[in-house]
Structure 1
Amino acid sequence: MPIQIRMPALSPTMEEGTLAKWLLKEGDAVASGDIMAEIETDKATMEFEAVDEGTIAQIVIAEGTENVKVGDVIAILAEDGESAKDVAAAGTGDGEDVAEVKPAAATADEASSSDEAVPAKAASRSSQSATEQADAKPSAAQKSTSDRIIASPLAKRIAEQKGIDLASVTGSGPNGRIVKADVDGAKAGAAPAQTAPSDATMPAPKVPVKTPAESEFGAPYEAQKLNNVRKVIARRLTEAKQTVPHIYLTVDVQLDALLKLRSELNATLEADGIKLSVNDLLIKALGRALARVPQCNVSFQGDELHQYSRQDVSVAVAAPSGLITPIIVDAGRKGLAQISTEMKELADKAREGKLQPHEYQGGTASLSNLGMFGTKQFDAVINPPQGMILAVGAGEKRPHVIDGALGIATVMSATGSFDHRAIDGADGAQLMSAFKELCEAPMGLVV
């Protein structure tokens, strides 16, 4: 009996995703645990493992297709002794017709927008046509009837970064779709290969002209489609500002003692290949401050207030797809070397889009540091259901009162954003005071 492979929900908030890449093709044998595809979720690009055994009889959704809803059929798996013809004749095996899923021969736009059922015979012919086209040698930059270059979102992004003209690239994906592997080997700025057409037999080539749109007040612009991560960021931050009453508390922190301690610790840890950043020490300081002021390590849950006994600090990381917050679990109790090692690994995975759900889902409070960009002070938006986020600015030389006399010190402004439904202003002020104290007397971070 044919087995439907459906779009999985790879995170609790995932409703749809992009089928970024197929790692197998039609006719390949599949065993349980094999990696079948890479799927771009609302947070990261993740690998999808097979749970059944068989042979891929039909790839229903082509790689690069966006907005594939969770539960949609993306491929058909034939069991032992079955062929692709058996699959087409038997349907899906659970009372549904194979024709009700989107055919692999459709373009990304067609596959994501068409929800109409087609007759089974038409779907079978579409599948056979897609197979024949995949077997044939694809022409350079195969296009749709509207002369649109068909390429996966990842391939387009890489081509834009490298300055590659997609018209010069030969697509190896289904229907001649340009995928990541095609762009990786292309040369930047390459011009499309052209052959001399016969004037008698060939029409004049169409030259696409890209004209930027204009707003209602005349300013030109180029529309950019939101990726899944950006959609989630927009929705969650809008909800946070509309539903969470924010209260902001700012303190100035003298950093000279912390910077001196960091320098001494790095000299000791150099032999172990560990180099602490200021951010590593601030993560530990926030974790310890939350342990000292547990009434701020909370989340508002309707009729309940959840107070956490562990300090899991979510750290904002700017990734190509958008902001994501990997978590340092139990930051208040971990050593600085361990925090530094984990943070580097998580930040690298975040930028590569390879974070696993347990590495970014959860957290009891957040830290956002824009100091490395020279930002002096800012107010961050709370990440629900967390009760607070700490926004850290740049450390800079400022006039400062030292031991009762005016002097010059390295000072950093830190602003806490608190959910006023869960955290009173006095409690938030205690947390900010504890954070300031730990940074200005930093030996408390190493004991």
Structure 2
Amino acid sequence: MPTPIKMPALSPTMEEGTLAKWLVKPGDSISAGDIMAEIETDKATMEFEAVDEGTIASITVEEGTEGVAVGTVIAMLAEDGEDLEEAAKAAPASGNDASEETAMAAPAPSPAQSQEPEEPNPASPAPKAEKDSSDRIVASPLAKRITAQKGIDLAAITGSGPGGRIVKADVEDAKAGKAAEKQDPNAEMAAPRTPSVTPAESEFGAPYEEEKLTNVRKVIARRLTESKQQVPHYYLTIDVNLDPLLALRKQLNASLEADGIKLSVNDLLIKALARALMRVPQCNVSFQGDTVHKYKRADVSVAVAAPSGLITPIITEADTKGLGQISTQMKELAAKARDGKLQPHEYQGGTASLSNLGMFGIKQFDAVINPPQGMILAVGAGEQRPHVVDGSLQVATVMSASGSFDHRAIDGADGAQLMEAFKQLCENPMGLVV
């Protein structure tokens, strides 16, 4: 009996994804554990492994297809000895109701079944959009969302789906026009219309190129907008004398050179933040509506710039790990993040975050909290500045660090204690190696 291969949920928040690339084709034999496809989720591009063995009978969702809902049948797998054509015919004509793309996807016909399409009868007009008993235009949820965003009148569109149902393909290329005067009863459920941030060439004369947002960029936009709208941020900045930490780093790197380990300043800052969170546990929390979660270990999410957008791999138990272990793990996670190969457990979670823009010469900045975490630490470049050392004015390597805190979970005095603890650990860094 043929087995349907469905779009997997590769992360807890994934509802749909982009089938970025197929690595198999009809007729290929596969075994459990073989990589079949690359799927772009709401976090990263991930490999999709086979769980059964057999032969690919058909591919029902082509690579490059966006918005494929979780649970949609994307291919059919035939068992050993099973007829591939018969297995391909077993693919559902309209898979998951939540996915319009599945309803439109059909098994690839075999060469024997291929034939020239019949000429349409010019005397037969295309079916108009079907209306149900309440005189409401029948359209897929995705089509309604797109028309709401573009300001398109659904009544002016001819549906090509079953019974004249309006589907995504009907509205994708439709020009934005006057919104329908009669509002769709489901309009409030649709996503709010977002105006384009790029001015039209005819308006300002500046040419531009339109680029679609990746799933990752869409999630970044949504989550950070929600964070700034819903999380009451407050910010605390402190100056840190980095000279003691830099001296310790030089000494440690000299002793670790034989092991092939080279500590970065960021590795030590990860450890300093983790230890500070354990010293001030009131800040190692997340806001959960009616409750606050207080964590017993420090898992530090570290911002990494990847080609698809910002992602935050996590150094778990950073408060108890050695600096060498943190350095090795951070390099591995950063490389995987840039290649889009992070696994969900490597970027989901975290009790607090660290963002470092010092390598770009940024002196100081305020970062946006990544909910439900309660804080994020933003560190700038260490630079030579006049600084008071032991009561006298000297030149020192000084770094500005700014903490962004969720005031619903962390009071100002607690945030100040965390910043003070972080400063003390950086300026007395032996606390990082014991």
Task: Provide the TM-score with structure 1 as the length reference.
Answer: 0.74
Deviation at 1:213, TM superposition (A): 5.3
Deviations 1:106-163 (A, max 9, x none): xxxxxx9756558xxxx46x52369989xxxxxxxxxxxxxxxxxxxxxxxxxxxxxx
Structure 1 equivalent of residue 391 of structure 2: 404
Structure 2 equivalent of residue 127 of structure 1: 109
Residue 394 (structure 1) aligned with residue 388 (structure 2): no
Matched to 2:93, the amino acid is A
Question: How far apart are the structure 1 equivalents of 2:88 and 2:209?
Answer: 43
Work out whether residues 60 and 101 of structure 1, in 8 Å CA contact, stay in contact via their aligned partners in 2: no
2:298 to 304, 307, 311: 311
Residues 268/131 of structure 1: CA separation in 2 closer, same or farther (3 Å cut)? farther
2:318 to 328, 331, 348: 331
Residue 54 (structure 1) aligned with residue 54 (structure 2): yes
**Residues 56-135 of structure 1 correspond to what in structure 2 (within 5 A)?**
56-89=56-89, 91-92=90-91, 98-101=92-95, 114=101, 116=103, 123=106, 126-128=108-110
Structure 1 equivalent of residue 31 of structure 2: 31
Question: How far apart are the structure 1 equivalents of 2:428 and 2:316?
Answer: 24
Work out whether residues 215 and 221 of structure 1, in 8 Å CA contact, stay in contact via their aligned partners in 2: no
Structure 2 equivalent of residue 423 of structure 1: 410
Structure 2 equivalent of residue 40 of structure 1: 40
Question: How far apart are the structure 1 equivalents of 2:341 and 2:248?
Answer: 33
Question: How far apart are the structure 2 equivalents of 1:116 and 1:404?
Answer: 74
1:413 to 386, 392, 400: 400
Question: How far apart are the structure 2 equivalents of 1:34 and 1:369?
Answer: 38
Structure 2 equivalent of residue 293 of structure 1: 280
Deviation at 1:45, TM superposition (A): 1.8
**Residues 373-392 of structure 1 correspond to what in structure 2 (within 5 A)?**
373-392=360-379
Deviations 1:80-104 (A, max 9, x none): 3321332255x34xxxxx32259xx
Residue 279 (structure 1) aligned with residue 250 (structure 2): no
Secondary structure at the residue paired with 1:128?
A: coil
Residues 433/421 of structure 1: CA separation in 2 closer, same or farther (3 Å cut)? same
**Residues 351-366 of structure 1 correspond to what in structure 2 (within 5 A)?**
351-366=338-353
Deviation at 1:320, TM superposition (A): 0.4
Residues 411/50 of structure 1: CA separation in 2 closer, same or farther (3 Å cut)? same
Question: How far apart are the structure 2 equivalents of 1:267 and 1:130?
Answer: 70
Structure 1 equivalent of residue 246 of structure 2: 259
Deviation at 1:65, TM superposition (A): 2.3
Secondary structure at the residue paired with 1:261?
A: helix
Question: How far apart are the structure 1 equivalents of 2:102 and 2:200?
Answer: 30
Structure 1 gap segments, 5+ residues each: 93-97, 103-111, 134-211
Secondary structure at the residue paired with 2:297?
A: coil
Range 66-75 or range 364-373, more displaced: 66-75
In percent, how many aligned pairs have the same letter?
Answer: 77
Work out whether residues 378 and 391 of structure 1, in 8 Å CA contact, stay in contact via their aligned partners in 2: yes
Work out whether residues 297 and 307 of structure 1, in 8 Å CA contact, stay in contact via their aligned partners in 2: yes
Question: How far apart are the structure 2 equivalents of 1:403 and 1:326?
Answer: 38
2:227 to 227, 240, 264: 240
Question: How far apart are the structure 1 equivalents of 2:396 and 2:114?
Answer: 72
Matched to 2:371, the amino acid is P
Deviation at 1:266, TM superposition (A): 0.6
Question: How far apart are the structure 2 equivalents of 1:117 and 1:377?
Answer: 51
**Residues 201-220 of structure 1 correspond to what in structure 2 (within 5 A)?**
214=201, 216-220=203-207
Question: How far apart are the structure 2 equivalents of 1:426 and 1:101?
Answer: 55
Question: How far apart are the structure 2 equivalents of 1:275 and 1:215?
Answer: 54
Structure 1 equivalent of residue 3 of structure 2: 3
Structure 2 equivalent of residue 140 of structure 1: none
Task: Provide the TM-score with structure 2 as the length reference.
Answer: 0.77
How many residues are matched? 349
Residues 87/50 of structure 1: CA separation in 2 closer, same or farther (3 Å cut)? same
Question: How far apart are the structure 2 equivalents of 1:4 and 1:392?
Answer: 49
Structure 2 gap segments, 5+ residues each: 116-198
Q: What is the CA RMSD across the aligned residues, in angstroms?
A: 2.1
Question: How far apart are the structure 2 equivalents of 1:131 and 1:428?
Answer: 69
Work out whether residues 367 and 391 of structure 1, in 8 Å CA contact, stay in contact via their aligned partners in 2: yes
Question: How far apart are the structure 2 equivalents of 1:115 and 1:266?
Answer: 55
Work out whether residues 317 and 350 of structure 1, in 8 Å CA contact, stay in contact via their aligned partners in 2: yes
Range 70-79 or range 236-245, more displaced: 70-79
Secondary structure at the residue paired with 2:363?
A: coil
